[in-house]
Structure 1
Amino acid sequence: MHEADAWTDDGDGVVLSPHPVPTERDVEATLRPKRLADFVGQARVREQLELVLEGARRRGVPPDHVLLSGPPGLGKTSLAMIIAAELGSALRVTSGPALERAGDLAAMLSNLVEGDVLFIDEIHRIARPAEEMLYLAMEDFRVDVVVGKGPGATSIPLEIAPFTLVGATTRSGSLTGPLRDRFGFTAHMEFYSAEELEQVLRRSAAILGVELRPDGAAEIAGRSRGTPRIANRLLRRVRDYAEVRADGAVTLPVARAALEVYDVDELGLDRLDRAVLGALVRTFGGGPVGISTLAVAVGEEPSTVEEVCEPYLVRAGMLARTPRGRVATAAAWHHLGLEPPAQTLGDPAPTLFDA
């Protein structure tokens, strides 16, 4: 389990983590769409997936194996559940780290019924022996079970029912070539636009019974880092504020006041993001600085800074990774209310008229 996966939502920087929090899984399950038509965003992926599933239904065969890749919190698990629901099949769920031995995978595969959907989350972390067994299962619907040890070991072929494997990964580059090539359809999930996140929020508010005004939805969506999981989490925190300190309706002023309490600024940066930028700019003069040194300066683990903070700061154009270390861009200096030094990364190049 990633360290980020084990955090709790304590409102101190964790509220904007795209990783799932164990205590909120039940709420997430309630908010998940059940059908492809209810899934908001990812229009291209939805269209492609609809064709794959409809074609398989008309032929009366299980669809090709599906690989879903992209950052955490964008709906990969929801899509896996939707695939099973659209096919009217049972869904078997496991994760890459749980499949440490080939025998673990063989036991799961042997229990599949024809047409079942097997969902492996974090498939890039599957153990090598299990991955090699998966090759044969995906292609020929067969596994070879080794019985005994040493010279007397024998391999027994075991037929398994035709199934559809749905793999999810946040690091598609970590997948081996042979495994990636065995997927018939690969979908890459993109970050959501503010308009799409507003649709997600309106749907979630209706399910949760929250009175969400359009201006309040727009404010929350703009601070959600393009991630539905974060948007839903912020909606629940703003709902708490609205019920305790306002009349229960989530309006623009209520949303702004609530997100200020939870240290989420107008660009979607939280306490930890600003601490990283502050250390990089004020302590290290804008960099370059190594990730371990930067993590020590903010009192966090390097993996936390690298996996939770960096992706959004890089995407927001405030931090750059260079061979020498992390560097703050001009946008980072301006966001902190500071004037960047000359020739800071991201500043416009001087022209002849400036000379």
Structure 2
Amino acid sequence: MKIVKPSSLLIAGLAAIGLTTAAHAADTITVVSWGGAYTNSQVKAYHEPWMAKTGNKINSEDYNGGLAEVRAQVEAGNVTWDLIDVELADAVRGCDEGILETLPLEELPAGADGTPAKDDFIAGTLHECAVGEIVWSTVYAYDKTKVAAAPTSLGDFFDLAKIPGKRGLRKTPKVNLEWALMADGVPADKVYEVLATPEGVDRAFAKLDTIKGDVVWWEAGAQPPQLLADGEVVMTSAYNGRLFNAIVNEKKPFDIVWDGQVWDIDLWVMPKGTKNKAAAWDFVKFSTDTQRLADQAKYISYGPVRKSSFAKVLPEMQPHMPTAPANFKNPLQNDFGFWADYGDELNERFNAWLAG
């Protein structure tokens, strides 16, 4: 039998096909988050190990929250983001609007101890279009070198006579209105009941009026520690993870006041129409397993949403978690349903108040 050797052209063609197949085997997804220490914790705990395991690539982008860009991409039929880290109210609203993909939650891996995912995730952290990652808090901090009497309560944040100086607040009604009512004497478990009334809203804005002239407004999570470091404010609201990074890693002379902390969760969502749905979902399953959530807590003081992850969090990190007993004495859980219902009108009122 005559053996025909393949031509060099055929070999080159086969090689090209092989290279093309290899190239298509690797996916690239765009993952959008909040930047700074938080995104860095995700890169170390989620991105790098997933890329090493799968050979896929991640483009990491930062944003300042909200659904405006997601909505614009979906409506234009030009979705360039594959996964977005969002707050719970936005996850619920986006799902209701139909601009987010529904997710096959039954495919999430069981916990390391064998507990099914639906029982391993803390109640309220799995949603039709979203998978929770971390528990975080908005707290306030002060520069210990700039105050004579250290603040200890939420009331002290609003007391310009006791502690003079500029305050930093995020440029949004969320948290500010809740804090205003709590500082005005409303118990944590009554805040949303009061805020759901016109009188409660008026009361909250009246309390904010008492410090309005001394507020420096911030919009990005990196700003509050910088405002403190630059001496532009003596105290400021901030995400607890940003403060942990400044205090522990950068050795800044800041201290956190946990009284009245408003705690929340962050979740992964997928815009409707992403072209990389399979790879993005694989990343979600990987990044929210027991070990990866515990790994993230090595880098930042946000608590994992899986129960099976807690035992794997480093002991030295546990006191920095929002849910540590000493920090969780007077907390308020952000009511995503309230903000889904009242967010638009309160944003409108807040913007008008700012302009007034």
Note whether the superposition's TM-score is higher than 0.5: no
Higher strand share: 2
Higher helix share: 1
Report which structure shows greater RCO (CA 8 Å, sep ≥6): 2
TM (normalized to structure 2)?
0.25
